[in-house]
Chains A and B, each alone.
Chain A
């Protein structure tokens, strides 16, 4: 499959690859997908006292589109408030990267990763009272 230039650009120079300290109470970690499905995304956000995401990191096991979607998302959410980050929809990601239909699930996964990271962060802020 021939890739769109934006996917290639993110794939070749992925932004914000890495990990944040998952035990930090300001850090929310989201992990979505499954190895058996061929993609797993880990997205981490660090939220400052003003409720702004001041850092984001990702690690992704998956195809080029999955890596590009994660990379793009980290770029987009940095500097945004949590609510602004949650407003990012998979459609925006798919459009920006011009993903073909067969790769739409990568953008869905990226959106899910944001939700999952935020959820984890909020849980920690409540002192883990809602922990499973």
Chain B
């Protein structure tokens, strides 16, 4: 077993060697610009791009003509949200999203508020799920867009897309989903789920970084205003020369996800359960954040009470994970996603996200369990909070010298 062990698959994934292999020729001998119509260099590049477009479309059961290429899910989210809002502002100025969206969605919405739009940020339940009745009740005659993520990056919770889609369709509101974490991991069907716009990222699904896609429905046609101006590529929605090697990589990554999803999901789920049980069996005062059923197979977000997250990460430095602790960011605020679930600040500081994926092995899981349990026990021995709890002191009754 090689150290360090990568367990941060929601942050990014390695490019699958099979993906890399099909990309390589498109950097060197097949370097043509897919927009060049006058010679075979351009023609073969265009063919490769169209093949990839089909592979991506198939993953979400869309038509290839509904896929446009972007630099990643952040750009896709920006095009979708800004593009829909600005195009349809004569019809309405209201947008609905949730408080646990990725910053790419939240920040785009915040920006729109400065352009005069009104945004409703819906809360989620303690398990991270959106109450679809609340969503339905929040739609007004001014609402033009609902944006709800497919799966959350921190807690892996999968939202009821089909139910949300049905509500949006019935009310004539565009439905966008940020599927950076969901596409390729959960079954997605733009028809069955009534999706109008879907953001996809390459590097979360074993494809290259710097490439993503946006699904934009054709029937009924979804119209949006571009945010990038230039040569009118991608039906005018996203100008800029298409990066053929990256696109070929994204296409192949989607094809592999589609082929391997059932078996891979089961395998990863078994690994997660093994890890969950291994830790819970040996440690007390441990809680899992987010729903355990409606959840990505490869996400395990755990709070280890009385052990600060960053110090735990240092103690398990051979395992690459991330933390909801404030200390991992410059902001000093603990994870806004965990806070939105009602996890108190104290516990939010003690959370670790383990992200499992395609290349995670059972040996790695067993090693991680061992290391984590040992580290938590050691740090609890060093924790004044743990000591107080052992003495029967209720920490909520203590008056802390907040600083």
Q: Hey, which bits of chain A sit against chain B, CB under 8 A?
A: 1, 3, 8, 11, 14, 17, 19, 31-42, 59-64, 66-67, 102, 105, 108-109, 112, 116
Contacts and interface: CB of A to CB of B under 8 A. Distances in A.
The residue in B328, B345, B384 that gathers the most chain A C-beta atoms within 10 A of its C-beta is B384
B29 interface: no
B383 A33 contact: no
B345 A36 contact: yes
B385 interface: yes
B323 to A, nearest CB: 10
B356 interface: no
Contacts of B401: 31-34, 112, 116
The residue in A40, A60, A108 that gathers the most chain B C-beta atoms within 10 A of its C-beta is A40
Interface of B: 306-308, 310-311, 314, 325-328, 330, 332, 334, 344-346, 349, 381-387, 395, 400-403
Contact of B384 (A11, A14, A36, A60): A60
A13 to B, nearest CB: 12
A109 B387 CA distance: 19
B403 A61 contact: no
Nearest to B346: A35
A111 B400 CA distance: 17
Contacts of A105: 403
Contacts of A59: 382-384, 387
Given A60-B382, A62-B308, 6 more contacts: A14-B382, A33-B400, A36-B344, A42-B387, A60-B383, A67-B382
9 contacts: A33-B401, A33-B403, A35-B349, A37-B402, A37-B403, A41-B384, A63-B310, A64-B310, A66-B308
Contacts of B325: 38, 63
B382 A17 contact: yes
A39 B400 contact: no
Q: Which 8 A-B pairs have the closest CB atoms?
A: A34-B400, A42-B384, A35-B346, A63-B310, A36-B345, A63-B327, A59-B384, A38-B349
